Structures are given as C-alpha cells and as structure tokens.
Amino acid sequence: MQHWELLFFFFVIAGVYASVGFGGGSSYLAILALYALPVPEMRLTALVCNIIVVTGGTAIYISSKQVAWKKIIPLVLVSVPMAFFGARMKLSVDTFFIILGCSLLTAAVLLWIKTRKNVDVLFGQPNYMRDGALGVAIGFLSGMVGIGGGIFLSPLLNLMKWDDPKKIAATASLFILVNSVSGIAGQLSTIPADINYTHIGLLCAAVFIGGQIGSRVGAMRFDHAIVRRITAVLVFAAGTEVLIKHLPWFK
C-alpha cells in the first residue's frame, strides 16, 4: 500500500460517521479523490466500507424494533433499483467528480442544518408518492457517485418531520446498507480486472475498527450537533477542492 495515511483517515472518518449513524461514503470518496485513484476503485471502496460500518448498527436497529417498516418500504423499493441503474451509468472522469463535488456541497449544507431533538409534529400516515420520489432521486444519485445516500436522506427526513429521530437514524442506516449493496451489484460489470483488492481490504479493516469505536462513542452523552457540523465543514472543504480541480473554468 503506497499511502498508509489513508488507513488513519478512513479509521477517523468511520468513527465520526458511525457515531451519528452514517456510513461515511461521501467522505471516503472525497479523501480518495485527493489521491487521484481510479474512479472504479474509489466507488467500490466507498460502498464496501459503507456496508462494513452500517451493518452492525442496522442489525441493532432492527432487533430493537426501531425500523418503521411500513414507512421505509416505499423508500427502499424504488431506491434499490435506482442505485443499481445509477451505478451502471458510464461517466467521464470530470463529470463524475463534478457530480461528486456538488453532492458533497449539498451534503454539507444538509448536515449543517439543525435537526430536531424531540418530535413536535408527525405525519400520521406514510406519503408513498413523496417517499417514493425521494427514494428515486437519492437512490439514483447514490448509485452514480458511489455512496449509500443516508447523508442526504437523514437531514431531509428530519426537516420533513417524517418520524422521531431514532426511527430516522434507523431508516438512514438501512437505506445506506441496501443501496450500497445495490450499487456494488451495478458496478460489477465495470470493475477492472487489475483492481487493487489488497488496498481495499486494508481500508475495510480500518473502517471496521473505527466504526466499532464510533458506534460505542455515539451511545455516550455528547452533542451530536457539534459532530455533524464539524463533519459538514470537512465535507464542504472536500467538495470545494474536488470542484476546483475538475470544473473547466478552474483549469
């Protein structure tokens, strides 16, 4: 492995994101983009790391009955195939990085927005049209870029007062997991034969350790809003860097 510092970066990212219920795919991509790694390897790495970080949390949410199945089904049913089709799209390198940069900036804004600690108003019944449209949009974008989509879904559901914060966190975790799996399935036909699986394996080990620590720290008492906003600043900086490198008028 040429860049051993990536192990540390991925370890920290996984810990931070796991503490607030995300997988970290957007930040993995942002870091990898700085090292000019091949796009197929970047996308595969981010999705596999996502799965490692959120699987344990998803299992806990399901066992504790925090997943609102009737409300999440419309999101997942449409997001999974859209993530698959999005992952199969062939994009030029510059187009990919421009979409990634814009996605990171959007994610930063959503992360910065204050979320509710308590529920004041809830939707009485699921809105299948609205949730389905949300699943289509985020699923397709997630597949194209190579993320799980929870970093977009969770803040939006909070703004919509979709449910209580714990159920939204559970929804985002499951959403990230299934869309990451779908995204990998969509990428299978485009993964090059010479991809560096040893490199991916080492990064996966780093995020496994970081994610385990982060999920346990997340259970302690500390201000999640501070973590989210620090993450928002880092994601915004990474998105800006990506756009500066790949938008034509900056070249």
- The residue range of the domain holding 115 is 5-250
pLDDT of residue 122: 53
- Whether residue 183 contacts residue 83, with contact meaning beta carbons closer than 8 Å, is answered with yes
- Greater confidence (225 vs 32) lies with 32
CA-CA distance, 35 to 97, in Å (whole number)? 13
Can you give the pTM of this predicted structure? 0.86
Task: From 180, 238, 212, 235, select the one nearest 44 (Cα to Cα).
Answer: 180
Out of 24-28, 57-61, 115-119, least confident range: 115-119
Question: What is the per-residue pLDDT for 119?
Answer: 47
pLDDT computed for residue 204 by the predictor = 93
The answer to whether residues 149 and 21 touch, using CB atoms and an 8 Å cutoff, is no
Please determine, for residue 246, whether its predicted confidence score (pLDDT) is greater than 50.
Answer: yes
Count of domains in the chain?
A: 1
